């Protein structure tokens, strides 16, 4: 094997390892963040909870040889679960909803902040909120002939830009949260009728590693 072939093989291996690394990050990130929040909350509560219980009910807790309070096994976990449930319940109340709406209005009208806030809000709501936009997967031709990208129709008409017969398509990047917005003629797209939006997004973000319908 020549030196050129060895370099090409090494680049291929490194590219594959990088693919696996980012795929692992995509899988582990939500799990890791969730565990970090829950464990951090548990440790925080478990740190001061014994003192509160001892002050209210001195007979419930004992002290060890060093004079430190012994915690009740499982109590911190129960308190964390109860706290999360209470926060979820409070957030669903009408009054809290009005406060959130008020804060939302203030942020959207604050100079300098409104651009970033409204852009991030619209982007997140397009994924999972009431304004879901990434639910129409398509193949879009924006490069060479017969070279297609996977994208999502976000606007069925671009009449505001003087192109009534064009659609707006968002094309996500692989292994990233970024993407490109294209305005293309309707005859340059092919709807993916047999592929769900979730499968199309996973396939694109993973760089084609994830199998469709897997």
Q: Are 86 and 8 in a shared domain? A: yes
Whether 32 shows a pLDDT value over 90: the answer reads: no
Tens digits of residue pLDDT in 52-70: 766 666 666 666 666 666 6
How many separate domains does the chain show? 3
Domain end (from 63, 91, 119): 91
Residue 159 DSSP class:
G
pTM of the model: 0.44
The phi, psi pair for 137, rounded to 5°, reads: -70, 140
Host H or E run for residue 109: helix 94-109
Q: Which of 118, 120, 191 is nearest to 152 (CA)?
A: 191
- Residue 39 included in any domain: yes
Q: What is the domain range of residue 98?
A: 94-128
pLDDT in tens, 94-133: 555 676 677 777 766 777 666 666 666 665 555 554 555 6
Cα 130 to Cα 28: distance, rounded to the nearest angstrom: 27
Residues 139 and 189: beta-carbon distance below 8 Å: yes
75-91 helix and 94-109 helix, angle to the nearest 10 degrees: 70
Is residue 86 located within the same domain as residue 159? no
Question: Is 80 a member of any domain?
Answer: yes
Please state, in angstroms and rounded to a whole number, the distance separating the CA atoms of residues 201 and 125.
16
Instruction: Based on the fold, state whether residues 62 and 117 are members of the same structural domain.
Output: no
Q: What CA–CA distance (Å, rounded) separates 47 from 50?
A: 7
């Amino acid at each position: 094997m020549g030196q050129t072939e060895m370099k090409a093989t090494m680049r291929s291996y490194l590219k594959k390892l990088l693919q696996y690394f980012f795929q692992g990050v995509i899988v582990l990130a939500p799990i890791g963040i969730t565990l970090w929040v829950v464990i951090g909350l548990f440790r925080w509560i478990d740190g001061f909870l014994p003192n509160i219980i001892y002050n209210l009910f001195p007979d419930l807790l004992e002290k060890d040889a060093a004079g430190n309070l012994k915690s009740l096994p499982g109590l911190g976990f129960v308190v964390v679960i109860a706290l999360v449930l209470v926060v979820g319940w409070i957030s669903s109340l009408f009054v809290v909803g009005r406060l959130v709406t008020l804060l939302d209005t203030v942020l959207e009208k604050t100079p300098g902040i409104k651009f970033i806030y409204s852009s991030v809000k619209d982007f997140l709501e397009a994924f999972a909120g009431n304004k879901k936009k990434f639910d129409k997967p398509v193949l879009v031709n924006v490069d060479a002939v017969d070279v297609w990208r996977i994208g999502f129709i976000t606007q069925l008409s671009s009449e505001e830009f003087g192109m009534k017969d064009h659609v707006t398509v968002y094309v996500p990047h692989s292994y990233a949260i970024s993407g490109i917005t294209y305005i293309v003629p309707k005859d340059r797209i092919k709807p993916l009728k047999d592929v769900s939006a979730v499968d199309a997004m996973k396939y694109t973000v993973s760089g084609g590693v994830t199998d469709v319908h897997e």
